[in-house]
Homo-oligomer: A and B are copies of this chain.
Amino acid sequence: MTEQAKYRFLLIPPFRLPEASRFNVSITGVPIDLPKEERLMNASLILPHLENVEWELHPGELATYGDWPVETREEFAYAASARLPNVKKACETGKYNGIVLLGGGEPGFAEAREIGLQHGVVVTGNAFSQLHLATMLGNKFTVLDVMGVHNFYYRDVIITHQLAHRCASIRHIGYHLPRPGNEDHPQLNDEREKMRRGEATRAAEIAVEQAHAALLEDGAEVITLGCSGVFWLQPFIKKGLKERGWDVPVLEGYSASIALAKLMIDLDINASGVTYMSDSTGQLPIKVVM
């Protein structure tokens, strides 16, 4: 990777599942010796955003809590601390000026940002990027998400970003992430497979219906996507809403995070060293206020 490139990014997945996991899905768990372009989820949507970027795709750290995707607060905590050493190592190489944290629930985002700032590396995450951009585009956003506990975890994320007052609702699309014990529930993976085969998917239909309901009833004026497992739905939601007469932005996490990292590098800005201080070498305010 040449030092001259303007954007030198490392993309780090939230976790990696064992290839043999029965819960494995396209989201994660792809063979790590494939080219990065083939490992990148929803590559056709995302690669255009990486055209002027020198980038690498980290394999992700093997999940320690089990072999299914993160969903509970507990699982997110494990994924966060498993990812942070990789963030630190990447920063220490000096090769990157931006780290894009993949994964809708952005485990370890605030911590990674603290680490990145020490090394002059910009760090962005998928909720952070979508949510802030959404507030620039309309009054309130609705988050479309998988079905279940992830919705409540994601609300915590929104509170952490101090954007609760701009959230109209979190609505789910009726499909679950794969997980021991919910094998009988409707599975998102099956829908994704249909999409790949070019078939119509009920998940996409429901996503449009839920987005429509959010716009009609909840006060949403922008749509964002929660779990990265639903990011592939972006073009379908855009199309479906347009057909129903709505002209609203539909954000997606990877692209939003890549674009925001570029912006910060362009402006030579990073997180505030007061907000994200990590030692005691700088100034302190007389008191910290909210």
Contacts and interface: CB of A to CB of B under 8 A. Distances in A.
Interface in A198-233: 214-219, 221-222
Q: How many copies does the complex hold?
A: 6
Task: Classify the interface of chain A: helix, strand, loop or mixed.
Answer: mixed
Nearest to A213: B287
A259 interface: yes
Q: Which of A167, A245, A269 has the most CB of B within 10 A?
A: A269
Contact of A152 (B81, B128, B277, B286): B277
A5 interface: no
A249 B263 contact: no
B263 A74 contact: no
Nearest to A140: B289
Given A160-B159, A249-B269, A284-B172, A138 B290 contact: no
Interface of A: 49, 72-74, 76-78, 80-82, 84, 88, 108, 110-111, 114-115, 128, 132-133, 135-140, 147-149, 151-152, 154-156, 158-160, 162, 164-172, 176, 179, 181-182, 185, 214-219, 221-222, 244-249, 251, 255-256, 259-260, 262-263, 266-267, 269-290
